[in-house]
Structure 1
């Protein structure tokens, strides 16, 4: 019997994970990455002793990472150096004076009670509901390929429908507002919708489950940065036999008789394969790499969908200390609805002022900046529109992008009491929706993937297998189960479940523990 061959398009975490899992399934795997480096959205950039993560920076859902590592014959403790963050994050609210430090567990309950008498007990009830919802999602939805309706017809799930349906029918913001009066507490419970590429006014309240992750489980950080996570997955994939080729953009998925037969690269080479797994942006895969009659999701489908937000990224190397900022810091505008309307509404524009996220990894990890300096990563959610332009190094981006970055730095300086922040910047790089569109082929320059609204989640989200081309499968943030590093790991696992014919709603059974397959270098 000849060895099965597979080509994986894209070496982000979904592509690397798919390569590792497929290699362990017995495939001979080649990964083709268009860019010069692996990592995709979860990349890194270094300059003058600073090392920036250019994408994900919150380590949540640790059990998903642990499960993937165990499928690969190892564990997170072997592959990563994880440390808990205390506080989990800091919140500055416009016009509200001193910031709030948010920690997990009883500390969160105490904080809510101090801010709003009676809110501590209500938070405990809220988090119990969030835990139940998260366990339901993990057990019934996240690992389901939806190749059949059997998981949805499970009697245990049907019995929970009376409690589940109201959580699907109203937005997260309404769910929170009914329980808490202080706007800062509402924002703390509503902001996880942004992790899902959405708004608390658009995401269904079932996603209150996200608060279980930060307020109950806590937030961790992999020492060395998030590049160590993708490096670990890459290391395991190559140890399992996968071959990774960079600077290798794919121009076409080759088909014959309705089935995938390999790929053609931009340089004209052709690679034959029994299986093609595209982890590239789904819109790019469907509309650029396939012929019109081969598209499961043609352009007409995309016109009825939402891409989630774009992002203005500002990476700053700063001279001197920044104790005003925690490892994770969130800045919330007073008129939050107006902020999200600017991003998702009928007249999209950059919010001013803007809610934003700031990561200061040098608060935890001195390896991210030279001595006497700090590392800042600023993310401002903006409309997904490549016309905003592209960023650059040392003010080398488009004027509109650099002007927006200046406003973000000024707002951060003013709100957090860092009067001389702009004068202390020694390294600066910006990125914007135009970069996401050009470098990552992201649909409409979106920063994350398809927005998690009700009709773009679970069984309504694009699946992991083409309905038009046999042997063509998908993984990554555009498809099931959704956005974020843990979801991308699960999406790679769903490819394997499809190939196995596994229609269960749960994860693949982990193999017996053997000698670790990788290990930190």
Structure 2
């Protein structure tokens, strides 16, 4: 890796989060190097090639491109033209006795579950608050005193509208359904669990109400198809990073983060599968776009 420039910031992992951070930092004038262990970018939102065909590694449709959505905001900041187009209905749920189309107006859902109108009205209200507060940097749940202070600042800036969120702060979607007297409707709960498994990776019994209300909002906010496969999003970000002078390198597995006297000094990168030798790459800052289990 002797061809690397001396980076100021190293980002481990070329997932969407890491690439977004890299692009924003590169635009701000920092020297950025992204190191990815795989042969393609995007992580679970990546597209790999096999025998000339492109296959999505995980997700196949995307959200967050609606007005003031996270990807829309990033697009404006970086002057990006995302290769996406709206897809409505977002998806269709197949239950043993029916099919339900998830559309932006939620029409089919309400038509098939007319007794849930109050639930969806409350869900939309909570989700709108959640989107606004998330955009303002709301850390939830807070992990330390700094995040508690940030949560208080964001909460005060949205007072009194955010008072509606307080009763739901620590409950689950299942608790919410009981409050709405919908917990005995097994078909409706099964339908909700299917949505939550897609967007929150858990069912109503485990998902926090505030997060669940936002996770159930994807179809209403708009779902998009990515031209060329979902990996085109990562490819768009990589093009921007390189255009801004940043670097993205594949087949570079970071094996450790070097710390001296409480400060990061760089990372160790493996030299291959058949050796334990590593190369040290210096850095002033390191961002690990990884799960906690990978650190």
TM-score range, shorter chain: 0.7 to 0.9
Distance (Å, rounded) in 2 between the aligned partners of 1:190 and 1:234: 35
- Residue 113 of structure 1 and its aligned partner are, at CA, apart by 4.0
Match in the other structure for 1:18 = 21
Does the 8 Å contact 1:176/1:190 carry over to 2? no
Does the 8 Å contact 1:173/1:190 carry over to 2? no
Q: Does residue 57 in structure 1 map to residue 64 in structure 2?
A: no
Distance (Å, rounded) in 2 between the aligned partners of 1:249 and 1:104: 41
Match in the other structure for 1:131 = 128
Q: Does residue 69 in structure 1 map to residue 75 in structure 2?
A: yes
Cα pair distance change 1:131/1:43, threshold 3 Å: same
- Residue 234 of structure 1 and its aligned partner are, at CA, apart by 1.0
Contiguous gaps of at least 5 residues in structure 1: 286-521
Larger RCO, structures 1/2 (Cα 8 Å, 6+ apart):
2
Cα pair distance change 1:137/1:280, threshold 3 Å: closer
Distance (Å, rounded) in 1 between the aligned partners of 2:103 and 2:56: 23
Cα pair distance change 1:271/1:136, threshold 3 Å: closer
- Residue 198 of structure 1 and its aligned partner are, at CA, apart by 2.6
Match in the other structure for 2:45 = 42
Alignment RMSD: 2.8
Cα pair distance change 1:183/1:220, threshold 3 Å: farther
**Mapping of residues 22-421 of structure 1, within 5 Å:** 22-48=25-51, 50-62=53-65, 63-72=69-78, 74-75=79-80, 78-80=81-83, 82-93=84-95, 95-96=96-97, 98-105=98-105, 108-109=106-107, 111-120=108-117, 122-139=119-136, 141=138, 147=146, 149-154=148-153, 155-157=156-158, 159=160, 162-177=163-178, 178=180, 180=182, 182-194=185-197, 195-207=199-211, 208-214=213-219, 216-267=220-271, 268-285=278-295
- Residue 219 of structure 1 and its aligned partner are, at CA, apart by 1.4
Does the 8 Å contact 1:191/1:200 carry over to 2? no
Distance (Å, rounded) in 2 between the aligned partners of 1:167 and 1:79: 35
Cα pair distance change 1:60/1:187, threshold 3 Å: farther
Give the secondary-structure state (helix, strand or coil) at the position aligned to 2:62: coil
**Mapping of residues 409-488 of structure 1, within 5 Å:** none
Distance (Å, rounded) in 1 between the aligned partners of 2:64 and 2:170: 25
Aligned residues: 273
TM-score w.r.t. the length of structure 2 is: 0.80
- Residue 122 of structure 1 and its aligned partner are, at CA, apart by 4.9
